[in-house]
Chains A and B, each alone.
Chain A
Amino acid sequence: MQKEIIIAGFGGQGVLFAGQVLAYAAMDSGKEVTWIPSYGPEMRGGTANCTVVIADEEIGSPLVRRPPAAIVLNLPSFDKYEPLIQPGGVLVVNSSMVDRPAQRDDITTIFIPANEMAEEIGDRRLLNMVAVGALLAMLPELTMEQVKAALKAHLPQRHQHLLKNNFEALDRGFEYARKALAQMPA
């Protein structure tokens, strides 16, 4: 088994942390994993992305050209990665920041208003966890329990009080995606 996931968006949207949460969950469940950020001369508001590779055996390339799964949190990332997803792959799109429909019908695309859903929980910064929750509904390699356990285990002590809201964001994202998937034509 090997699964590659790209998470992309603006700097400040929690792109890198979202990837790290998946990486911690993979590590804690005994899998091989790599997390690698784009590390150009970047800044808040610029583009940011990271690639997470989860596997059963020693991982070769930490980067892939065509991932089977991605989360895109803004329009430039949607434009960049939608054409690159492997046929049959999955894509989570933050519809709060995107104003066009999907162009691919050979992948599963979930549009989720992550900004608004995060604001409903009371913290706009949770939008990354809403999107991660949605991805988990389509990611058999990791379970929601594993991701929650990883958050709990690796969130620094000073941030532990944020766990409840992070869990809620994950759950809401997951539920939203599950319902959306159920309504899709087979």
Chain B
Amino acid sequence: MAKELLKGNEAIAEAAIRAGLEAYFGYPITPQTEVLEWMSRRMPELGRVFVQAESEVAAINMVYGAACTGARVMSTSSSPGVSLMMEGLSYIAGTEVPMVLVNVMRGGPGLGNIAPSQGDYNQAVHGGGHGDYHPIVLAPSSVQEAIDLVVLSFDLAEKYRTICMIVADGNIGQMMEPAELPEMRPVKRREWDWAVTGAEGRERRILTSIYIDPYDEEVTNLRLLKRWREIQKNEVRYKEYYLDDAEFVIIGFGTAGRVALSAVRAARAQGLKVGLLRPITLSPFPYQVVDELSRRVQAFLVVEMNSGQMLDDVLRAVQGRVPVEFYGRLGGVVPFPDEIADEIRRITSEKLTVTADPREAWYERLSARVN
């Protein structure tokens, strides 16, 4: 299929439809609303299910119910709406049913604003709903990658009976880029051995997240963990840029990652041996590649649109072998390439030391810039 000029949010919606999405439940919120808008037109047109629920809480519980029947199902929202969904997500995780959730993140906390942000990294990767579970979290940095990851997310969610989240931001949702959509796949319900589809003529199946006996819950948690360990082994994804001979490595995901690419190219043009690692799976995080890099490079610079949430995962992988520096913008501010270029100049020219928390020095630098 030929490339078309596609808006991120609309591309996400159409990619899900072509991947065989059977039911969509959601609630409008900027900067994600175009997904819902697209679904509201296309899903009924194709004879599939679209419901604009009365709230995000209702939407996620409709997703929960549909997922229990084995249908391909998704919701999309933006930060405050995703917070509302957290209870439902935990129930979905505990019930071990597959679903896809897209969070087009915006500035926060609270109502915040509608500008692009990466402030929900910890919520998506380390926190979220209550209890002991790990979702798969994918972070696209372009419209094409958003399309590809949406298609992948359904397969991953179903393969591991898990939640697959896609975290984008307002830039990716609102931007237009040439991209290629997949062919329309026919909707094809698989014969899952866990789905509740009416028990006539077969053994009854029960889907629940209630395990009153803690020993039963422990068995369930262990089963979740077993799947998570498989995911960690099989599903780590990232993209490398100029890493072969890199002495300094920038790490950034999504929009921050692509902004950093501009700065890395500018640094390369000046002869600096700088590369970029862009994690695509934030969960499972590419610990191993960071570990390996930390044994041959001089220093890292982590760039995020938050106060250093992924930074902790990088520090865990680097284990103090080399200095890790940090640069972040907050509250919906997107860094320009020249800010990251300044940081690259700084880390390649200053004598750096391994510090316990790179946020300390960054806090001073950002305060001086912002105040």
Contacts from A to B (Cβ < 8 Å): 20, 23-24, 27, 32-37, 39-41, 58-66, 154
Among listed B11-19, B54-62, B191-199, B334-342, interface-contacting one: B334-342
User: Looking across the interface, which residue of chain A has its beta carbon closest to that of B257?
Assistant: A60
From the candidates B171, B175, B178, name the one contacting A27 in the complex (CB within 8 A): B178
Using a CB-CB cutoff of 8 Å, which residues 240-277 of chain B contact chain A?
A: 258-265
Contact A60 B337 (CB under 8 A): yes
Would A36 and B336 count as touching, CB distance under 8 A? no
Given contacts A24-B5, A34-B177, A39-B30, 7 further A-B contacts (CB under 8 A): A23-B5, A27-B178, A35-B175, A61-B261, A61-B336, A62-B258, A65-B336
Interchain CB contact under 8 A, B338 and A65? yes
- Interface status of B3 (Cβ within 8 A of chain A): yes
Q: Is the Cβ of B262 less than 8 Å from the Cβ of A60?
A: yes
Chain A residue numbers with a CB within 8 Å of B258 are 59-62
Cross-chain contact A40 with B114 (CB below 8 angstroms): yes
CA distance A23 to B306 in the complex (A): 30
A32–B170 Cα gap in the complex (Å)? 20
Q: Give me the interface of B with A, judged by CB distance under 8 Å.
A: 3, 5, 30-31, 114-115, 170-171, 174-178, 258-265, 334, 336-338
Bound-state CA distance A62–B263 (Å) is: 12
A61 to B242, CA, bound (A): 17
- Write the nearest CB–CB distance from B268 to chain A, whole angstroms: 12
Residues in chain B near residue A41, CB distance under 8 A: 114
Q: List 25 A-B contacts (CB under 8 A).
A: A27-B3, A27-B178, A33-B177, A34-B176, A34-B177, A36-B174, A39-B170, A39-B174, A40-B114, A41-B114, A58-B261, A59-B258, A60-B258, A60-B259, A60-B261, A60-B263, A60-B337, A61-B258, A61-B336, A61-B337, A62-B175, A63-B171, A63-B336, A65-B336, A66-B338
**Chain A nearest CB, measured from B28 CB (Å):** 14
6 shortest interchain CB distances as A-B pairs? A60-B262, A60-B261, A35-B176, A61-B259, A65-B336, A61-B262
CA of A23 to CA of B176 in the docked complex: distance in angstroms? 9
Bound Cα distance A41, B30 (Å): 10
Q: Are B336 and A33 within 8 A (Cβ)?
A: no
CA separation between A34 and B114, bound complex, in Å? 20
Find chain A residues with CB under 8 A from B175 CB: 34-36, 62
- How many angstroms from the CA of A66 to the CA of B170 in the assembled complex? 21
B337: chain A residues at CB < 8 Å are 60-61, 64-65
Q: List chain A residues, Cβ under 8 A from B177.
A: 33-35, 59
Closest to B261 in A: A60
Distance of A79 Cα from B276 Cα, bound (Å):
36
In this complex, the member of B114, B176, B259, B337 whose beta carbon has the largest number of chain A beta carbons within 10 angstroms is B176
Query: How far is B177's CA from A163's CA once the two chains are assembled, in angstroms?
Result: 24
User: Is the beta-carbon distance between A33 and B178 smaller than 8 angstroms?
Assistant: yes
Beyond A36-B175, A37-B174, whether A64 also contacts B336 by CB under 8 A is: yes
Which one, A23, A33, A62, A154, contacts B171 given CB within 8 A?
A62
A-chain residues with CB within 8 Å of residue B338 when the two chains form the complex: 65-66
Within the assembled complex, what's the spacing in Å between the Cα atoms of A35 and B172? Answer: 11
Alpha-carbon separation in the docked complex, A154 to B3 (Å): 13
Q: Which chain B residue shows the least CB distance to A34?
A: B177
Give the distance to chain A from B88, nearest Cβ to Cβ, in Å.
28
What residues of A have a CB within 8 angstroms of the CB of B178 in the complex?
27, 32-33
Residues of A within 8 A of B264 (CB): 60
Chain A residue at minimal CB-CB distance from B259: A61
Residue of B nearest to A40 (CB): B114
Residue in B5, B30, B176, B260 whose beta carbon sits within 8 Å of that of A36 in the complex: B176
Q: Taking CB as reference atom, which chain B residue is nearest A51?
A: B175
Query: Which residue among B178, B261, B262, B264 has the maximum number of chain A CB atoms within 10 Å of its CB?
Result: B178
A89 to chain B, nearest CB (A): 15
Q: Closest CB of chain A to B117's CB: distance in Å? A: 14
Shortest beta-carbon distance from B113 to chain A in Å: 8
CA–CA, A59 to B258, complex, Å?
8
Distance (Å) between the CB of A92 and the closest chain B CB?
A: 22
B176 touches A39 (CB 8 A): no
A41 to B332: give the CA distance in the assembly, Å.
14
The CB with the most chain A CB atoms within 10 A, among B171, B177, B261, is that of B177
Query: With the chains together, A27 CA to B2 CA distance in Å?
Result: 11
Chain B: minimal CB distance from A3 (Å):
13
Tell me the bound Cα distance from A37 to B5 in angstroms: 14
CA distance A59 to B338 in the complex (A): 15
Which residues of chain B come closer than 8 Å to A39, judged between CB atoms? 30-31, 114, 170, 174
Q: Quick one: given A61-B337, A65-B336, are A35 and B5 in contact (CB under 8 Å)?
A: yes
Partner of B176, one of A20, A63, A65: A20
Measured CB to CB, the closest approach of chain A to B176, in angstroms, equals: 4
How far is it, in angstroms, between the C-alpha of A39 and the C-alpha of B171 when the chains are bound?
9
